[in-house]
Amino acid sequence: MLADRMSRLGTETAFVVLARAKALEAKGKDIVHLEIGEPDFDTPANIIAKGVEAMQGGETHYGPAAGKPEVRKVYAEHIASDRGIDVGPENIVITPGGKPIMYFVMTALVNAGDEVIYPNPGFPIYESVINFLGAKAVALPLTEDKDFSFDIAELEKRVSDKTRMLIINSPHNPTGGVLSGADLDAIAKLAVEHDFWVLSDEIYSKIIYEGKHESISTRPGMLERTIILEGHSKTYAMTGWRLGYGVMPAELAEAVAKLQTNCNSCTASFTQIAGAEALTGPQDAAEAMVAEFKVRRDLLVEGLNAIPGITCKRPRGAFYVFPNIEGLDRKSSEIETLLLDEYGVAALSGTAFGAHGEGYLRFSYANSQEQIRKALERVGRMAKDLLG
């Protein structure tokens, strides 16, 4: 019934586990939700007020495909000062969430038969879109012994004359890993030398606990070959607003806007106005979220490390931990099912993020300390039952 290309399209199983967890809840089971990558906080009040005001003021019509000019300008100024790069409104395309940037940019740049190197474990949509486009998905394993970064030699081995693009994501989903400045230097050198694009997913740029986020776009020769993926979902707890953007060379921005015209016409106008307020208004609510995430990270990491059969690195960014569960001697997907069905904790198998996630689980700590404590008690009970 479906077109052939649909067999190559993957998905995000976080939504599948969320649906299963909700179904169990509907039957009366108590579930701790650590599966979904969504802040449990509400969108800050000043952003909501601006969105409502914009709607009441008539910002309810179609707008230009690439985004409202005044909002593109605000985003460009923000990125120019935050990342320290020379960009203007012509480099910005505003999209419904950060996710469409992956699809649009790869559609605009990657031909069937090209190779795209992507992090594995990594956000599942990268591999899905690469395969969908008929390109070759070349996995770059991220390893625990490197704090979920990678060896530059491993990257170099995967670069060929067909390499069209490299995808990086720092801070990283699902591991919370952060690429070092030296890593970025080395990646940039390879990109320039071998003339490939870098899609730099920086959606967690503000959720970082040690040090400051650095963008590969700042490295020599990189501005003209980097696409920054950014968005409001995580930093400002705006997942349901669907608001994100890409920063890219102007010619590519025009192509991405054309794809948007063919797809969703534009991003909701009042949402964009609220997005400009998010970047220019007070940042205290966003900073308070990060401070709370840090407390939860420490609670979860220490709690997991106290459970037999589990070890957990302390991630430097995002709101995920990626504990090693090899000591439990079961496949990650089995543990995912067991944890949800028998112990009422919704988490994701590491393999939801690619084959190199075997032996790990992902917990999102976008949930309260009370819920995290409850989850730790239940995970501990499961480990005890399994290990006898």
- For ligand PLP, the binding residues (CB under 6 A) are 37, 97-99, 123, 169, 173, 201, 203, 231, 233, 239, 244
Nearer to ligand PLP, 127 or 328 (CB): 127
Q: Give the Cα separation of 178 and 172 in Å (integer).
A: 6
Nearest distance from residue 220's CB to ligand PLP, in Å? 26
| Calpha distance 120→124 (Å, rounded) | 9
CB of 151 to ligand PLP, least distance (A): 21
Of 37 and 89, CB closest to ligand PLP: 37
Min dist. Cβ of residue 124 to ligand PLP (A): 9
- Residue 259 CB, shortest distance to ligand PLP, in Å, is 16
- CA gap 302, 311 in Å, rounded: 9
Residue 312 vs 352, nearer CB to ligand PLP: 352
Please identify, using beta-carbon distances, which residue of 238 and 383 lies nearer to ligand PLP: 238
**Exposed, middle or buried: residue 266 (CB in 10 Å: 0-12, 13-18, 19+)?**
buried
Please report how close the Cβ of residue 67 comes to ligand PLP at its closest, in angstroms.
15
Q: How far is the CB of 233 from ligand PLP (least distance, A)?
A: 3
Nearest to 47 by CA among 246, 282, 292: 282
Q: How far is the CB of 105 from ligand PLP (least distance, A)?
A: 12
What tokens were used for 167? 């995808």
Cα(231)–Cα(244) distance, integer angstroms? 4
| Residue with token string 């802040």 | 39
Query: Nearer to ligand PLP by C-beta: 219 or 232?
Result: 232
Q: Which is nearer to ligand PLP, 44 or 303 (CB)?
A: 44
CB of 202 vs ligand PLP, minimal distance in Å: 9
Q: In terms of Cα–Cα distance, which of 5, 50, 53, 15 is closest to 35?
A: 15
CB nearest ligand PLP: which residue?
97
Output the CA angle 322-323-325, nearest 5 degrees.
135
Q: What is the nearest approach in angstroms of ligand PLP to the Cβ of residue 197?
A: 17
Beta strands of the chain (E only): which ranges?
Answer: 32-33, 92-95, 115-120, 136-141, 163-169, 197-201, 226-231, 244-247, 320-321, 345-346, 348-349, 361-364
Strand partners, 138: 117
> In whole angstroms, how far apart are CA 133 and each of 82, 156, 295, 299, 306?
33, 24, 41, 42, 44
Residue with Cβ nearer ligand PLP (93 or 383): 93
167 vs 379, beta carbon nearer ligand PLP? 167
Q: Give the span between the Cα atoms of 132 and 125, in whole angstroms.
A: 10
Could you give the CA distance from residue 349 to residue 351 in angstroms, rounded to a whole number? 5
DSSP count for the chain of H helices, then E strands: 12, 12
- Strand, helix or coil at 364? strand
**Minimum distance from residue 348 beta carbon to ligand PLP (Å):** 12
Whichever of 270 and 353 has its CB closer to ligand PLP, that residue is 353
Count of CB atoms situated within 10 Å of the CB of 55: 16
Q: How far is CA 201 from CA 122, 172, 181, 338, in A?
A: 11, 9, 16, 32
Pick between residue 124 and residue 380 the one whose CB is nearest to ligand PLP: 124
